[in-house]
Amino acid sequence: MTIEQIPRHIAIIMDGNGRWAQNRKLPRLEGHRRGGKIVEKTALDGVSLGIESLTLYAFSTENWKRPKAEIKGLMHLYSQYLVGIRPMMMKNNVRLVHIGTIEKLPDKLLRDLSESIEMTAGNSGMVLALALNYGSRIEIVDAAKKIAQQYKDGKLSLEDIDEQCMSDNLYTAGLHDPDLLIRTANEKRISNFLLWQISYSEFYVTETYWPDFGKEDLEKAIVAYANRARRFGSIKTK
């Protein structure tokens, strides 16, 4: 593959932690623990492959409906991993950003998240975007409210409100739209993830559960992407 065939931005819906654990007669939280370790490995794989941005769907706004014990365990694991991946991010020039809302997140997790973002803010390599407490519909509503307020304040005219204006007011402002969206565990749903941003993304589904996801799986997805003709609504010309 040439560098032109490598997607600039890959987004991943990390699925299958619970089923991975259940298949091994382990608690669901063990699947999440294993899945957390794969985050660091995948980030390193992204760096080695020359990916500019990697967005990982860690926790959705709908995930609060899960059992309280599982949520508590997940929040604790997120804090652990946010601290644990700091050396990797600093060594490999990775910059961490958060997409989502901070509402409902525990204080300790917020501190660990903020400190990791601040620590890596000066890094200029791959951007690791963590979608934590993220929901795309809420994101779009929030963007619409921001635009409406800017219009009310006289900072925007109706003519200023276009697709770029909307993109600039999303949580992902400043990030290139994903070229490739990967979902693990053979699920074929979008699950309220980056609805605006994936308008022209290529979609790749793998049967591999997230805790088993490795560099080979990532490379297969990239090869599939490289072999597709992206038309962006047009037709192929000779």
- What ranges do the domains of the chain cover? 8-135+177-226
| Catalytic pick among 15, 45, 179, 217 | 15
Q: Which residue has the tokens 């074929």?
A: 188
User: Which of 2-6, 32-36, 57-61, 76-80 has the least mean pLDDT?
Assistant: 2-6
Q: Would you call 15 a catalytic residue per the annotation?
A: yes
Q: Whole-angstrom Cα distance, residue 46 to residue 218?
A: 9
Q: Comparing C-alpha atoms, which of 187, 222, 190 is closest to residue 206?
A: 187
Edge-first strand order for the sheet with 127-134 is 95-99, 127-134, 53-60, 9-13, 180-183, 202-205
Q: For residue range 10-66, what is the model confidence (pLDDT) as tens digits?
A: 999 999 999 999 999 999 999 999 999 999 999 999 999 999 999 999 999 999 999
Q: Would you call 133 a catalytic residue per the annotation?
A: no
Instruction: For residue 117, name the pLDDT band (cuts at 50, 70, 90).
Output: very high
* Residues 88, 94 contacting (CB under 8 angstroms): yes
Q: Whole-angstrom Cα distance, residue 180 to residue 203?
A: 6
Residues in the chain: 238
Instruction: Give the contacts of 157 (CB within 8 A, at least 6 positions apart).
Output: 151
Q: Whole-angstrom Cα distance, residue 105 to residue 87?
A: 24
174: left (phi over 0), alpha (psi -120 to 50) or beta: left
Specify the fold of 8-135+177-226. Answer: Undecaprenyl pyrophosphate synthetase (3.40.1180)
| End-to-end CA, the chain | 22
Q: What's the confidence (pLDDT) of residue 229? A: 73
Per DSSP, helices labelled H in 128-187 are 136-152, 163-168
| Catalytic pick among 17, 45, 63, 177 | 63
Q: Sort strands 53-60 and 127-134 into parallel, antiparallel or unpaired.
A: parallel
Q: What's the confidence (pLDDT) of residue 5? A: 82
The three-state secondary structure class of 65 is: helix
Q: For residue range 157-207, what is the model confidence (pLDDT) as tens digits?
A: 999 999 999 999 999 999 999 999 999 999 999 999 999 999 999 999 999
Written as six digits, the tokens of 121 are 């803010």
